[in-house]
Amino acid sequence: MVVKFFDFALYHNKRPSPGSVKIRVDNLIKHWPEASKYSYGDDMDVMVFQKVYTTYDFKYINHLDRIKILDVCDPDWLQSPDIYIKETLDNVHAVVVPTKELQKLIAQMTNKPVRIIKDRFDLSEFPVPKKHTGELKTLVWFGYAHNAELLRHAIPSLEERNINLVIISNEDPACYRWANDPEAYYKRYTYIKYNQDTVYKDLQIGDACILPKGYRPEDRFKSENRSIIAGLCGLPVVQNTDDLEKYSQAKSRTDHINTIYDKLRTEYDCQLSVKEYKELIDEIS
């Protein structure tokens, strides 16, 4: 059975591909011989539309006479009047989502199967976990620059504790500007351009990964993939000042990673996502 992924990067001509394509398409294809990326004109038995929706001038989903699965990676369509989410749902056979909250939301709009297939990873790409030494001196944050707004209220706490901050992003959000003394904190601030080939090693510059809990309406639907990546790199996740104290010493950071590491590698291997996709396809076939 030939499976094709029509992904977000192809539809929007995004280069390099966004992280969701890497996580939810590229990783799976590497371990799924029958699956590959769609090229215009390809035939297939199953098409997976990854964050590609019916719009005013794009009706291909509606008319394609094949098994169709919609991968709703995140709720980016909530504030986009150009995306016809209900029409898209009506014209596919099943929907996959990364989180339980997103599953609940989509299930209110369709009677089609809505299955959770988590964000998972090619474990062979990860370096050995970071070896921790000494006190926590450096935190690292990674993601799209517009999401760095979540760090606004954390920066003064880092400044007060003389903790360095490394930002890995598509562009520099200049988070040092939120410090009480921006000029002084700039000396503790490092920006690294996001590179998918090096990001896991770049993360290990930090003693822990800072990922404050999101407060925006859409944040409750989002995947925990960055926390999983941090753990697979050997980094605890800091969300608040209590966590700063909890992971201040190397032993506490090492003990935490030792507790979760094997579970992460078991539950977040992308080959498990391939297995779940095959089961869903068998069911709707």
Q: How confident is the model over 100-113, as pLDDT tens digits?
A: 999 999 999 999 99
Query: Are 115 and 140 contained in the same domain?
Result: no
Query: Are 55 and 105 contained in the same domain?
Result: yes
Query: Are 101 and 153 contained in the same domain?
Result: no
Q: Which of 208, 204, 160, 168 is nearest to 185 (CA)?
A: 160
Q: What burial letters (b/e) apply to 139-153, b meaning 16+ CB within 10 Å?
A: bbbbbebebbebbee
Number of domains observed in the structure of the chain: 2
pLDDT band with cut points at 50, 70 and 90 for residue 173: very high
Query: Are 260 and 274 contained in the same domain?
Result: no
- Both structure tokens of 70: 């919609």
Q: Which of 162, 174, 170, 122 is nearest to 142 (CA)?
A: 170
Query: Are 40 and 70 contained in the same domain?
Result: yes
Residue by residue, DSSP assigns 149-208 as GGGTTTHHHHHHTT-EEEEEESS---GGGGSSSHHHHGGGEEEEE--TTTHHHHHTTSSE
pLDDT, mean over the chain: 96
Query: Residues 120, 224: contact at Cβ < 8 Å?
Result: no
CA–CA separation, 209 and 207 (whole Å): 7
> Rg for the chain (alpha carbons), in Å?
20
CA–CA separation, 264 and 104 (whole Å): 24
Give the pLDDT confidence score for residue 220 in this predicted structure: 86
Q: How confident is the model over 238-250, as pLDDT tens digits?
A: 999 999 999 999 9
pLDDT at 216 over 80: no
Query: Residues 202, 195: contact at Cβ < 8 Å?
Result: yes
Per the structure, the complete domain to which residue 208 belongs is given by: 124-267
Give the pLDDT confidence score for residue 214 in this predicted structure: 80
Query: Are 183 and 138 contained in the same domain?
Result: yes
| CATH number of the domain encompassing residue 24 | 3.40.50
Q: Tell me the average pLDDT across 30-47.
A: 97
CA atoms within 13 A on the CB side of 263: 7
| CATH number of the domain encompassing residue 144 | 3.40.50.2000
Query: Are 101 and 167 contained in the same domain?
Result: no
User: What angle is formed at CA 275 by the lines to CA 47 and CA 267, rounded to 5 degrees?
Assistant: 125
pLDDT band with cut points at 50, 70 and 90 for residue 265: very high
CA–CA separation, 236 and 245 (whole Å): 12
Query: Are 51 and 9 contained in the same domain?
Result: yes
Query: Are 277 and 260 contained in the same domain?
Result: no
Give the pLDDT confidence score for residue 81 in this predicted structure: 87
pLDDT band with cut points at 50, 70 and 90 for residue 99: very high
Query: Residues 3, 67: contact at Cβ < 8 Å?
Result: no
Angle of helix 225-232 relative to helix 250-267, nearest 10 degrees?
120
Query: Are 56 and 149 contained in the same domain?
Result: no
Give the pLDDT confidence score for residue 75 in this predicted structure: 84
Query: Are 241 and 256 contained in the same domain?
Result: yes
pLDDT at 17 over 90: no
Amino acid 61 reads I
Give the pLDDT confidence score for residue 52 in this predicted structure: 97
Mapped onto helix, strand or coil, the DSSP state of residue 118 is coil
Query: Are 149 and 35 contained in the same domain?
Result: no
pLDDT band with cut points at 50, 70 and 90 for residue 219: confident
